[in-house]
């Protein structure tokens, strides 16, 4: 498959959230309607970039998987198409979540990282639904429960929290900065 891109961005070797951070900066320099090719090796970047594009109004065209990595293609939206980036309105820090857990509050912890990330360490009893699968699996969650969404840094969880809220989940909170700074109890999958 040969796709003509107006700009190529090398994000190989970078893990979340860096492919998104670099894409945000690079897409600002593009003309509306132009296409950027984001080269990445992080498998989780596909769901991240697709969700980010959806949340901002840019057009996610698709991803091509090659031997040396992934090539994501996005079309920059015009000002009319672009929604601008919004952070989810309900946000708490890790200390707040830890206090809820210490107080045995009835909460659901939704971890939207990829299964491999989850396997190497997650909050006990957390539910793992990767961001890229959330649209197809959100019916596994109860709309009436308090849901705390977490990822590695807070970016994917922000996108997931917004998506859940848009689908009528009223008790959703994004947890920042995420598992990379979590000092509480962690389980590993065996």
Residue 104 belongs to domain with CATH number? 3.40.250.10
Statement to judge: residues 163 and 104 lie in one domain: yes
What order of strands is seen across the sheet that includes strand 69-75? 7-11, 35-40, 69-75, 59-66
Statement to judge: residues 54 and 108 lie in one domain: no
Would residue 122 count as lying in a domain?
yes
Q: Domain range spanning residue 34? A: 7-75
pLDDT at position 80: 59
Planar angle of CA 13, 55, 114, nearest 5 degrees: 40
pLDDT at position 66: 92
pLDDT, block means (10 residues), the chain with 190 residues: 84 91 93 92 90 84 91 83 69 95 94 84 95 93 97 87 95 92 88
Domain end residue (candidates: 18, 42, 75): 75
Instruction: Please identify every residue annotated as catalytic.
Output: 16
Statement to judge: residues 95 and 174 lie in one domain: yes
């Amino acid at each position: 498959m040969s796709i003509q891109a107006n700009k190529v961005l090398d994000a190989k070797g970078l893990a979340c959230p860096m492919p998104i951070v670099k894409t945000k900066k690079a897409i600002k320099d593009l003309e509306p309607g132009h296409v950027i090719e984001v080269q990445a090796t992080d498998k989780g970047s596909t769901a991240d970039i697709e969700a980010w594009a959806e949340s901002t109004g840019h057009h996610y065209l698709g991803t091509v998987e090659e031997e040396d990595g992934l090539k994501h293609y996005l079309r920059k939206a015009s000002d009319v198409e672009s929604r601008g980036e919004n952070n989810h309105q309900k946000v708490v820090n890790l200390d707040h979540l830890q206090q809820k857990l210490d107080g045995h509050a009835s909460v659901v912890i939704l971890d939207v990282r990829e299964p491999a990330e989850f396997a190497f360490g997650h909050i006990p009893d957390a539910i793992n639904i990767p961001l890229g699968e959330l649209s197809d699996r959100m019916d596994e969650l109860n709309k009436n429960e308090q849901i705390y969404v977490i990822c590695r840094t807070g970016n994917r969880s922000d996108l997931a929290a917004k998506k859940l809220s848009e689908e009528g989940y009223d008790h959703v909170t994004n947890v920042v900065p995420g598992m990379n700074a979590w000092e509480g109890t962690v389980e590993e999958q065996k």
